[in-house]
Amino acid sequence: MTALRWAVADGWTVTLRDLTHKANQPVQLVINLLFSVMVLLMFSYLFGGAMDVPGGNYQEFLVPGVLALTMVFGIEAMFTAVSTDVNRGVTDRFRSMPMAPSAVVLGRCAADMIDAVLALTALVAAGLAIGWEWHNGLPSALAAFGLLLLLRLAMLWMGIYLGLVLRNPEAVMALQILVWPLGFLSNAFVSPGTMPGWLGAIAEWNPLSATAAATRELFGNPGWGGDSSILLAVGWPVLLIAVFCPLAIRRYRDLSR
């Protein structure tokens, strides 16, 4: 039991470390939050006029898409944190200390989930301000937020794995750029039905699309989701976690090989 107690205590210390980063850089924190809000407003007011959503307005369609896209940003935040620690030797220092090995990763995941909740809160506030709302009651809305956070968790494990594999901090640039086409190749902003056939098929299968469609369904917002979207929105992240969590753990252990 003491081992578990220390694992929790160490994890919390690592979480605090990340929260302190934010407290030390309040401007950065605000910019990060404003960035997602800016994407929402840009699409809503710059492109929104040209969009025609069957059975609803574009804002109603857009907000769940941007929420899901913002969850995907977790991959690069985690990647940057992990690869920076490995490259600076901070990971080695942790590994040479009598702390719980799991704490390094779990503590950071917890901190990032707090981040994700902050980002969701900012976006929801902005969404409500531009006329979006949920129509199926609070329990369904909470379930939708749960699915969004589940997607975030899956992205975090991918980020941990990539950070341990690529290590090179410059790779974050490539990742930051790649997130956009991957984000747009989905139903976040438009219906995949408007894309060329094969692209549309990829977009339909994008895990981001599954979560966006399921949250639209739960919020009662217009979309093109089929019956299976909630199942997919659970299945995709769970599958990704089932693949990348063991990979990341093995990669972390391999640091000592």
Q: Is residue 49 close enough to count as binding other proteins by CB under 8 A?
A: no
Secondary structure element (H or E) that encloses residue 60, with its range? helix 58-72
Sole window of 55-63, 93-101, 158-166, 228-236 interacting with other proteins (rule: CB under 8 A): 93-101
Q: Which residues have CB under 8 Å from 48's CB, separation 6+?
A: 58, 59, 62
CB 109 → other proteins: shortest distance, Å? 17
- Count, residues near other proteins per rule CB under 8 A: 27
Q: Are 236 and 252 in contact (CB under 8 A)?
A: no
Pick the binder of other proteins from 24, 55, 139, 197 (CB under 8 A): 24
- Ramachandran area for residue 70 (φ above 0: left; ψ -120 to 50: alpha; else beta): alpha
Pick the binder of other proteins from 25, 121, 194, 228 (CB under 8 A): 25
**Of residues 23 and 242, the one with the C-beta less far from other proteins:** 23
| Of 199, 186, 193, the residue nearest 236 (C-alpha) | 186
Pick the binder of other proteins from 13, 121, 168, 194 (CB under 8 A): 13
Sole window of 18-26, 53-61, 173-181, 210-218 interacting with other proteins (rule: CB under 8 A): 18-26
* Residue list 96-155, contact with other proteins (CB under 8 A): 96-99, 103
Residue with tokens 């639209």: 216
SS3 255: helix
**Of residues 37 and 82, the one with the C-beta less far from other proteins:** 82
Phi then psi dihedrals of residue 131, to 5 deg:
100, 5
**Of residues 170 and 256, the one with the C-beta less far from other proteins:** 256
Calculate ∠ Cα 17-115-148, nearest 5°: 140
From the centroid of its chain, how far is CA 81? 15
Q: Point out which residues bind other proteins (CB under 8 A).
A: 6, 9-10, 13-14, 16-17, 20-21, 24-25, 87-90, 92-99, 103, 255-257
